[in-house]
Amino acid sequence: MTNRIKTEGNRNALRRSMVFLSFVLLLIAAAVWNIRSGSVDISLKETLEILFRRGDSESTAYNVIWKIRLPRILLSAILGGALSLSGFLIQTFFRNPVAGPFVLGISSGAKMFLAVATIAVSGMFSDMPVSAAVAASFAGSVMSMMIVILFTGKVRSMSSLLVIGMMISYICSAVTDLLINFANDSDIVNLTHWSMGSFSAASWQSVRISALIIIPAFFAVLCFSKQMEAYSLGEGYAGSLGVDIGKLRVLLVLLTGVLSASVAAFAGPISFVGIAVPHICRMLLKTEKPILMIPASFMCGAVFCMLCDLAARMLFSPTELSISTVTSAVGAPIVIWLMLTRRNRNGS
Amino acid sequence: MAPEKDIAGARLGTYDLTVGYNGVPLISDIAMSAARGEIITLIGPNGSGKTTILKTIARQLAPVAGTILIEGDDIKRLSGREIAREMAVVLTERIRPDLMTCYEFVSAGRYPYTGNFGLLTDKDREAVDTALRLVNASEIAERYVSEISDGQYQRLLIARAVCQEPEIIVLDEPTSFLDIKHKKELLEILSGMSKTKGVSVIMSLHEIDLAERISDRIVCVKGDRIAAYGTPDEIFAGSTIPDLYGIDAGSYNALLGKLELTAPEGPVRCFVIGGNGTGIPFYRELQKKGVPFAAGILMPNDIDVSVAMPLAGKLICTEPFMPADDAMKKEAEDLIDASEFVIVSGCPEGEYNRINSELEKYAAGRGKKIVRTIGELREVLS
């Protein structure tokens, strides 16, 4: 009996290592593919030379790779990882497989602040710097998150919290729409562009800042994997094991908020990654264990966003698509398919 | 056995405990204690607050007032981890995660023992294996929790509590959703744990008959107080149970531990000549069809009496170990005359119930239809 349990366990372990190994390989492949593709064609040999030997720093290829493509690849990987990790957190939090990181009104808060910044403030200055836009949308996300946290302690049922998140979204959208009425066309274009999401504004500065926020947040999430697993078995049960539920709920919202706020700030509200990627990971790993799902979601999200960004850049080159166009087009069918197969399994 | 015990010396005790929601008291002055290996059962009508008491003991609700002690320590002064090593909780919250194997589900019980990342050591795995074997769930270890039956799931909940290696297990209606076989199995597991490992069990049960059989002590919960607290013998004597549930004293059948429904009202339509248990299915059938009936002539220690007593409109009983006298015979004959038909349930004839054969002959002589099987009875009634 004991032996049988162990062999089954080994088979699962093998499957899981294979999944992680393929994520690593895919990450490398996506990075290589991404770095070579674009309006300037650079051979693999030249690329490697530029990357590792630093080559001729005056050449176009050098500048394209170091100043444009590499930061963009890294940013899409980091933000993609953050986005799907925050999706996993919010799904764990609500025990709802179709919740996404932006249900808490985070992206609407970001958009509202951005609208205030671009429309109200930019009137006074001629041109708003990118950093100001990033700061505004981050502040907006954090504001929405704080409101949700305020309610987290007070509301008993999870569904009412979901409703509160949606209401915050509506209020923020109303304010945004109000501002748009008084805006210049050029400001509206900027806002619309932001709300479709893009990695095109990537720079080493944005990579550095987002990594500084997201990597510590990732490890913080990892440290709570044990509590999250207990939480997924029921709040009452987790409480009886010694988990401080109130604290954990606030922490989950806080970490989700920080992760998705970074994404909203640097790339806009990218849709579907946060919902779809954790699902893909669950199906591949055949588990919901947070200790496995956390790194898997992050890696898979990184791969997913890198490939989607590649598609956004290349499909209709030289016209660049917004990232949400691609992630939605790819992500939505995946979610539908997953829902269907999931029901079949339960129904059988 | 006196219900008042030294609470501080017990493994789990409550002292002047008041429970309720948001500081509003629901039940006050709860004092009970469980020693090593004791099983304490809470019974009471739906909505009486059994779950509230258990939730408070399990720290999911803050007590409105009073103290809960574990091994003499105030629960408020213990850390969550310390309490989790002492007490496992199986409440009615029923969440079945997708994509979690039964093994993983049960291993969550090792939470108070594992490190920061919850990784299992060999010792943990051994505890999980042992727990799975104890509840006969080893063969489903690798199946997903979302795919198993309610009975299997209930056993997993127990296994999860067992591998927590607690001194105390708190369970809220562990037998709901289970069929009779699994109910029995589950209670045997609990009783086995209390006997062999000395685990103290505190639970609520809907089935008072099972409560009587398994418990060392019973807590009757009703209204804003504990209605009664004592050993099963004390609780099941007298009118405690009927009072608790607000039912007629006659309809609670203490002897068989079965709840009987109320007797049909109206003039007697049928006389049952039963005895030795043979009449029971007829009494039940007549009750279900709403046919008022009389039964006799039985000796008071006959097993038929326990069911006929609450269900029959009229029951003729002899004195203990005495044959029927003429007055009884006359009464029976009158009832047969008043009946539309007579049931003869086929009780074996012996020295003391020869009278019943005479009654049968009397009925036949009066031209009454004699019914001998349930099938015939249904025909007559249809």
C-alpha distances in Å from residue B269, one per residue of B222, B272, B277, B287, B293: 39, 10, 21, 12, 6
Closest residue in chain B to residue A92, using alpha carbons only: B97
Of A223, A243, A244, the CB nearest to B116: A223
pLDDT on residue A2: 45
Give me the numbers of helices (H) and strands (E) for chain B, helices first please.
14, 17
Indicate which of B99, B153, B163 best probes the interface with A, i.e. most A CBs within 10 Å of its own CB: B99
Which DSSP string corresponds to A301-315? HHHHHHHHHHHHHHT
Does residue B148 sit at the A interface (CB-CB below 8 Å)?
A: no
Residue owning tokens 């609990």: B190
> Å from B200 to nearest chain A CA?
17
Q: Which of B180, B176, B174 is nearest to B159 (CA)?
A: B174
> Å from A213 to nearest chain B CA?
22
**ipTM surpassing 0.90:** no
Of B81, B93, B114, the CB nearest to A236: B93
Contacts of B137 in chain A (CB under 8 A): none
Indicate which of A4, A156, A223, A233 best probes the interface with B, i.e. most B CBs within 10 Å of its own CB: A233
Q: Which residues pair with B222 in a beta bridge?
A: B225
The answer to whether residues B168 and B202 touch, using CB atoms and an 8 Å cutoff, is yes
Total residues found in chain B within this entry = 382
Of B80, B93, B146, the CB nearest to A237: B93
Does residue B149 sit at the A interface (CB-CB below 8 Å)?
A: no
Cα–Cα distance for residue pair B92/B51, rounded to 1 Å: 9
Over chain B (382 residues), the average pLDDT of each successive run of 10 is: 50 90 90 90 88 90 90 88 91 81 92 88 92 90 88 90 93 85 86 88 89 88 88 81 75 61 86 91 87 91 87 90 89 93 91 88 93 91 84
pLDDT on residue B310: 84
Contacts of A5 in chain B (CB under 8 A): 103, 129, 138, 141-142
Does residue A229 sit at the B interface (CB-CB below 8 Å)?
A: yes
Please judge whether A287 and B104 are an interchain contact, meaning their C-beta atoms are less than 8 angstroms apart: yes
Of A222, A240, A282, the CB nearest to B58: A240
Closest residue in chain B to residue A12, using alpha carbons only: B142
Q: pLDDT tens digits for A216-267?
A: 999 999 999 999 999 989 888 898 898 988 889 889 888 988 898 889 888 8
pLDDT on residue B4: 44
Please judge whether A242 and B79 are an interchain contact, meaning their C-beta atoms are less than 8 angstroms apart: yes
CATH fold label, A7-347: ABC transporter involved in vitamin B12 uptake, BtuC (1.10.3470)
> Å from B140 to nearest chain A CA?
10
Please judge whether A233 and B141 are an interchain contact, meaning their C-beta atoms are less than 8 angstroms apart: no
Neighbouring C-beta atoms of residue A24, cutoff 10 Å: 11
Residues 6+ apart with CB under 8 A from A167: A105
| pTM, two decimal places | 0.79
**Which regions of chain A are under pLDDT 70?**
1-11, 55-56, 122-128, 342-348
User: Residue B303: which region, alpha, beta or left (left: phi > 0; alpha: psi -120 to 50)?
Assistant: alpha
φ, ψ at A139 (rounded to 5°): -60, -40
C-alpha distances in Å from residue A86, one per residue of A92, A183, A218, A297, B198: 10, 33, 10, 9, 45
Q: E strands, A169-268, where?
A: none
Cα–Cα distance for residue pair A238/A323, rounded to 1 Å: 39
The answer to whether residues B10 and B35 touch, using CB atoms and an 8 Å cutoff, is yes
Cα–Cα distance for residue pair B1/B378, rounded to 1 Å: 49
pLDDT on residue B7: 52
Please judge whether B99 and A9 are an interchain contact, meaning their C-beta atoms are less than 8 angstroms apart: no
Of A1, A244, A282, the CB nearest to B80: A244
Cα–Cα distance for residue pair B69/B79, rounded to 1 Å: 13
pLDDT on residue B253: 63
Greatest CA separation for chain B? 86
Does residue A247 sit at the B interface (CB-CB below 8 Å)?
A: no
Q: Which of B2, B5, B161 is nearest to B69 (CA)?
A: B5
Please judge whether A241 and B129 are an interchain contact, meaning their C-beta atoms are less than 8 angstroms apart: no
The answer to whether residues B3 and B229 touch, using CB atoms and an 8 Å cutoff, is yes
> Å from A137 to nearest chain B CA?
34
Question: What is the distance of C-alpha B141 from the center of its chain?
Answer: 30
Which DSSP string corresponds to A131-181? HHHHHHHHHHHHHHHHHHHHHHTT--SHHHHHHHHHHHHHHHHHHHHHHHH
Question: How do B258-259 and B252-253 pair as beta strands?
Answer: antiparallel
Contacts of A242 in chain B (CB under 8 A): 79-84, 111-112
Question: Which residues of chain B are in CATH 3.40.50.300 domains?
Answer: 7-246
Question: Which residues of chain B are in CATH 3.40.50.1220 domains?
Answer: 258-381
pLDDT on residue B258: 65
CATH fold label, B7-246: Rossmann fold (3.40.50)
The CATH code of the domain at B258-381 is 3.40.50.1220
Contacts of A346 in chain B (CB under 8 A): 98, 146
Please judge whether A242 and B84 are an interchain contact, meaning their C-beta atoms are less than 8 angstroms apart: yes
Neighbouring C-beta atoms of residue B7, cutoff 10 Å: 18
pLDDT on residue A138: 86
Q: Which of A328, A338, A258, A256 is nearest to A294 (CA)?
A: A256
Q: Which of B213, B153, B201, B159 is nearest to B178 (CA)?
A: B153
